[in-house]
């Protein structure tokens, strides 16, 4: 059986005008990005719930003006129900 993710799981949260710009943290995210893109196929950002991971990455990718270099990105939100490799 083919699993199709809900649109909410593959849609980046919309930019919020109340987000505080975090250029120092954006620069750390951009560190592994070179002229040809990321030097590795996956960057993992891990922290406990409520530490601002979603806000940080979404604000970096949607910064105006763009926080260079912001790469092309795919968005996937996971939760406990997604803890099955066949669904991933």
pLDDT (tens digit, 9 = 90+) per residue, 60-78? Answer: 888 876 665 556 778 888 8
Q: Which of 6, 8, 7, 11 is nearest to 62 (CA)?
A: 11
Model confidence over 9-60: pLDDT tens digits?
A: 888 888 888 989 898 888 887 766 655 566 666 777 889 989 999 999 899 8
| Main-chain phi, psi angles of 27, to 5 degrees | -65, -35
Q: Which long-range contacts (CB under 8 A, 24 or more apart) does 2-6 make?
A: 3/86, 3/87, 5/76
Residue 55: predicted pLDDT: 92
Q: Which two tokens stand for residue 84?
A: 């099955």
Radius of gyration, alpha carbons of the chain: 14
């Amino acid at each position: 059986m083919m699993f199709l993710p809900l649109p909410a799981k593959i849609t980046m949260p919309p930019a919020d005008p109340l987000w505080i710009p975090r250029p120092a943290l954006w620069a750390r995210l951009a560190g592994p990005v070179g002229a040809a893109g990321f030097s590795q196929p996956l960057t993992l950002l891990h922290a406990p719930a409520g530490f601002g991971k979603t806000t940080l990455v979404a604000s970096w990718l949607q910064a105006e003006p763009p926080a260079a270099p912001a790469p092309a990105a795919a968005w996937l939100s996971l939760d406990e129900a997604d803890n099955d490799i066949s669904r991933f």
